[in-house]
A = this chain, B = another copy of it.
Amino acid sequence: MSRIVFVNGAFVPYEEASVPIMDRGFLFADGIYDVAAVIDGKLVDNEAHLARLVRCLRDIGIESPYTIEEWTRHEEELVTRNGLSEGLVYMQVTRGVFERDFAFPPESVKPTVVMFTQAKSIASSKLAKTGAGVITTPDLRWKRRDIKSIALLAQVLAKQEAVRAGVAEAWMVEEDGYVTEGASSTAFIITRDGRIVTRPLSNAILPGITRRAVMRLAEEQGLAVEERLFTVAEAQDAAEAFFTSASAFVMPAVTIDGKPVGDGKPGPLTKRLRALYLDMAAASNSGNMR
């Protein structure tokens, strides 16, 4: 089965999928993206991803080209056409194609929409069994990190630092010493008295969809969830640590800058949260989506 992607309403072979060089996504990073997981051929927590996509588009003055229903239909068709069982659906919208100029193009210019799937082990991730290493790096990003824009160069450079260090993720740290989030994930720690801690929402971080689902699942289990800042030192000294994203679900962080967290293995509460999330993802397949 050859790979099919979605470009501006059409399902086209991957090899033929392109955008004009004057696309504002290519010239200005003038666009928004989102990513939803697929498990057993079904989208996970998809409505929340689409709601964030539409909100972020509105934040930068782009009207969503599709309704939630239309987005969902296109995603599902893309999953079907690619026979995707486990992986991701990627969606990107840019301000369209127009002669290069910083200011917005005329309203008649239509946004560009690109979607594609990626096969990937998520529920069955091997890394989740051993846990991931994390490094820390200064957070170089702009001040509207609550907007999931395609201006990702800072995140690319942070992730590459992680790769160079032989680990899976980089946690970014503000000048004040507090962790913001991972290059492509939300950062969590679990204190020695069992409190699940993550940074409160603000312009400093992306409002993670998996973050929200995990917090809700934890609260439903009567676990203590605390939204507050934490430093690298506190994270290294925590009982457990993990990070969440659509493509990692709940991923144990077992070292931070080379220092083991707890005993350097995935912690019991992290494993429990991962299992709860996997159950939720499986339940979503039967239509019982939260």
In Å, the complex CA distance between A160 and B102 comes to 7
- A29 & B142 in contact (Cβ 8 Å cutoff): no
Q: Which of A109-154 contact B (CB under 8 A)?
A: 114, 116, 118, 138, 140-144, 149-154
> Given the complex, which residues of B lie within 8 Å of A272, measured CB to CB?
none
Partner among B90, B104, B144 whose Cβ is within 8 Å of the Cβ of A100: B90
CB of A3 to closest CB in B, whole Å: 10
Given A21-B17, A60-B153, A103-B159: A142 in contact with B144 (beta carbons within 8 A): no
Interface size on A, residues (CB 8 A): 50
Interface check A278, CB cutoff 8 A: no
In the complex, chain B residues whose CB is within 8 Å of the CB of A153: 28-30, 60, 142, 149-151
> Does A223 make an interface contact (CB < 8 A)?
no
Pair A140/B140 contact, Cβ less than 8 Å:
no
> How far is the CB of A263 from the nearest CB of chain B, in Å?
28
Q: Is the CB of B159 within 8 A of A116?
A: no
Tell me which of B29, B99, B152 contacts A152 (CB under 8 A): B29
A183 contact set on B, CB distance < 8 A = 102
Which residues of the partner chain B approach A90 to less than 8 Å between Cβ atoms?
100
In contact, B28 and A5 (Cβ under 8 angstroms): no
Among candidates B5, B23, B99, B141, residue contacting A26 with C-beta atoms closer than 8 Å: B23
In this assembly, does A233 line the interface, its C-beta being within 8 Å of a C-beta of chain B? Answer: no
Q: Is A267 an interface residue (CB 8 A)?
A: no
- Give A204 Cβ to nearest chain B Cβ, in Å: 12
In the complex, chain A residues 182-220 whose Cβ is within 8 Å of any chain B Cβ: 183-184
List chain A positions with a Cβ less than 8 A from chain B: 5, 7, 17-21, 23-30, 33, 60-61, 90, 92, 94, 99-100, 102-104, 114, 116, 118, 138, 140-144, 149-157, 159-160, 162-163, 183-184
The 10 closest A-B pairs by CB, nearest first: A29-B29, A102-B159, A151-B151, A18-B18, A28-B152, A103-B163, A140-B143, A151-B153, A26-B26, A17-B21
